[in-house]
Amino acid sequence: MTTTKSDPWIPFHKIVQDPWSKIIQEKKDTGVKVIGHILPDVPEELIHASGAIPFALAGAGISINLAQAKIPSYSCSHVMGALELQLKSMLDFLDGIIIPYVCDTTRNLYHLWRNVFPDVPTEFLRLPKKVADPDASRYLHEEYIRISKWLNGITEREIDENSLTRAISVYSKSRDQLKSAYFKMQRSPETWSAHRVISLFESSLRIPREDHLELMTYLPWTVPDEKISDRARIYVRGKVWDPPEITKLFDELGFVLVGDEIVTGFRSVMVNAIIQEDLVQSLVDRHMSTVPYTGYYTDPRKMVEDFVERIRSCGAEGVIFLNPKFCEAAASCCYEKPYALKKNNIPNLILETSSRGTSTSQIRLRLEAFKEILTDDLP
Ligand code: SF4
């Protein structure tokens, strides 16, 4: 990879490696408020519209020293890592934090956060788990209004029609650009490697979106398509890119990502909010149309059928499940989905990952073996 000063990928890699410096500087320079949100599914548009910068928190890759004294050691790395950061005072620049209810672990995390850090303004976004329930949309609308009022209290700025329209437009534009980058990766995976493209996604969640959009204009959009015949086309399901080096492994081992449901991957950009009279409803509709996160419920048979259809429609030759260790929700969907894939002759690999004890070399070995299975199957 080129690493000259003019390398347009460097700013994104820098933000991924050090997500703190730029946002702390921004806050010093402008006095803007910064609201942290645990992934997934906190609507960044609401935070943006309140005048604050949303800053995504994920715990993958954080080495744990202090958090185990506060939360059961069988908690996933994502909540452990986020807690570790706060315990190490690395999140002191945040003006507030939103924790979404996606599972019992995040619910516990919310109560714990309130107790351990009583001075940190903390809110709980009670996302509906039964997303197919007829009342889920109305309920979520009320919940977004409640969170908006909480945000207004922190930033002392009203979320109004103008600010929300602006936020929705900025985020839609950014998602469209990220989507273009993702498709570029499939056509030119040497230049637009998974490691580079996913760094665009990861960094977009940690700096002002407008700045990120501008940085993306310097990318090599006009590079001609490359030959990709020897690459294995994969689809990935999981929470975040964990271990963080996994995208580098995909590149090195000759995989090409054609789809994923990772919350810092394609899932985060697949649906835009469509502007309508009720702008909060636009965000609700976006959430409801997004691929359900692990642990959300819809009709179980339909969930599996839709999953297989998504894989078929992007032409994936194999599926990788990146399952966070100690995540019951991820483990529970690892029976029917792999079974359905087997019935459809789509090979799959289940990797259990954790920043406590997952060896990258072991993952590499398993990916190498999986690549062999996929390329042997090629005509
Ligand atoms: S759903 Fe799983 S990975 Fe996500 S926060 Fe809960 S336990 Fe962790």
For the ranges 4-13, 23-32, 326-335, the one whose mean pLDDT is highest: 23-32
Q: How many CB atoms lie within 10 A of CB 20?
A: 14
Q: Kindly provide the b/e burial profile for residues 193-221, where b requires at least 16 CB atoms within 10 angstroms of the residue's own CB.
A: bbbbbbbbbbbbbbbbbebbbebbeebee
Within a 10 A sphere around the Cβ of 248, how many other Cβ atoms?
A: 19
pLDDT at 5: 53
CA nearest neighbour of 294 among 253, 336, 252, 257: 336
Q: Does one domain contain both 142 and 233?
A: no
- Domain end marker among 161, 181, 206: 161
Asked if residue 242 is part of any domain, the answer here is yes
Report the chain's mean pLDDT, rounded to a whole number.
Answer: 93
Closest protein CA for atom 2 of ligand 1: 327
Same domain, 229 and 372: yes
Higher pLDDT pick, 361 / 376: 361
Pocket test for ligand 1, best of 62, 104, 105 (most atoms within 8 A of CB): 105
Q: Which of 169-173, 207-211, 227-231 has the lowest mean pLDDT?
A: 227-231
247 and 369: one domain? yes
Q: Is residue 327 part of a domain?
A: yes
Q: At which of 161, 187, 213 does a domain end? A: 161
State whether 233 and 373 are in the same domain: yes
Residues 232 and 112 in one domain: no
Identify the top-confidence range among 3-7, 166-170, 220-224, 240-244. 166-170
Ligand 1 mean position to 137 CA, how many Å?
23
For ligand 1, the distance from its centroid to the CA atom of residue 229, given in whole angstroms, is: 36
Instruction: Report the share of the chain in percent with pLDDT over 90.
Output: 79
Say what the pLDDT of residue 298 is: 84
**Residue 199 Cα, ligand 1 centroid: separation in angstroms?**
22
Q: Residue 43's closest CA among 179, 209, 168, 155?
A: 168
Higher pLDDT, 172 or 377: 172
- The response to whether residue 79 sits with its C-beta less than 6 Å from ligand 1 reads yes
- Sign of torsion over alpha carbons 217, 219, 225, 231: negative
| C-alpha span between 83 and 136 (Å, rounded) | 29
Any ligand 1 atom below 6 A from CB of 292: no
Q: Which residue has the tokens 């995909």?
A: 250
Q: How far is the CA of 365 from the centre of ligand 1 (A)?
A: 26
Nearest atom of ligand 1 to the alpha carbon of 324: 3
Cα 251 to chain centroid, rounded: 20
Q: Would 215 be classed as within a structural domain?
A: no
Condensed to tens digits (0 to 9), the pLDDT of residues 123-154 reads 999 999 998 898 999 999 999 999 999 999 99
**Using H for helix, E for strand and C for coil, what is the string for the chain?**
CCCCCCCCCHHHHHHHHCHHHHHHHHHHHHCCCEEEEECCCCCHHHHHHCCCEEEEECCCCCCCCCHHHCCCCCCCHHHHHHHHHHHCCCCCCCCEEEEECCCHHHHHHHHHHHHHCCCCCEEEECCCCECCCCCHHHHHHHHHHHHHHHHHHHHCCCCCHHHHHHHHHHHHHHHHHHHHHHHHHHHCCCCCCHHHHHHHHHHHCCCCHHHHHHHHCCCCCCCCCCCCCCCEEEEEEECCCCCCCHHHHHHHHCEEEEEECCCCCHHHCCCCCCCCCCHHHHHHHHHHHCCCCCCCECCHHHHHHHHHHHHHHCCCCEEEEEEECCCHHHHHCCCHHHHHHHHCCCCEEEEEECCCCCCHHHHHHHHHHHHHHHHHHCC
pLDDT digits (tens, 9 = 90+) for 244-267: 899 999 999 999 999 999 999 999
The predicted pLDDT at position 376 comes to 77
Q: 36 pairs with which residues across the strands?
A: 55, 97
Closest CA to 355 of 60, 39, 65: 60
The alpha carbon of 110 and the centre of ligand 1 are apart by a number of angstroms equal to 13
Judge whether 98 lies within some domain.
Answer: yes
Q: In sequence order, which residues have a C-beta less than 8 Å from that of residue 5 and are 6 or more positions away?
A: none
Parent domain of 357:
225-377
Q: Does 234 lie in the same domain as 373? A: yes
72 domain residue, yes or no? yes
Distance (angstroms) between ligand 1 centre and the Cα of 359 equals 20
Average pLDDT of the segment spanning 98-103 = 96
Query: What residue's CA is closest to ligand 1, atom 8?
Result: 76
Judge if the beta carbon of residue 39 lies within 6 A of ligand 1: no
Domain end point (choices 119, 138, 161): 161
With respect to residue 43, please indicate whether it lies within any of the assigned structural domains.
yes
Decide: residue 369, CB within 10 A, 0-12 exposed, 13-18 middle, 19+ buried.
exposed
Nearest Cα to Cα of residue 90 among 139, 179, 23:
23
229 and 371 assigned to the same domain:
yes
CA 122 to chain centre: 21
CA distance linking residue 312 with residue 157, whole number of Å: 46
Domain count, the chain: 2
Query: Which CATH number goes with the domain that contains 305?
Result: 3.40.50.11900
Q: Does residue 168 fall inside a structural domain?
A: no
Per-residue pLDDT at 233 exceeds 90: yes
pLDDT of 4 strictly over 50: no
Q: Is 103 in the pocket of ligand 1 (CB under 6 A)?
A: yes
Instruction: Determine whether the shortest distance from the Cβ of 105 to ligand 1 is under 6 A.
Output: yes
Q: Which pLDDT score is estimated for 1?
A: 41
CATH (domain of 92): 3.40.50.11890
Least Cα distance to 24 among 80, 76, 93 occurs for 93
Give yes or no: residues 44 and 154 share one domain. yes
Q: How far apart are CA 237 and CA 98, in angstroms?
A: 24
Q: Is residue 175 part of a domain?
A: no
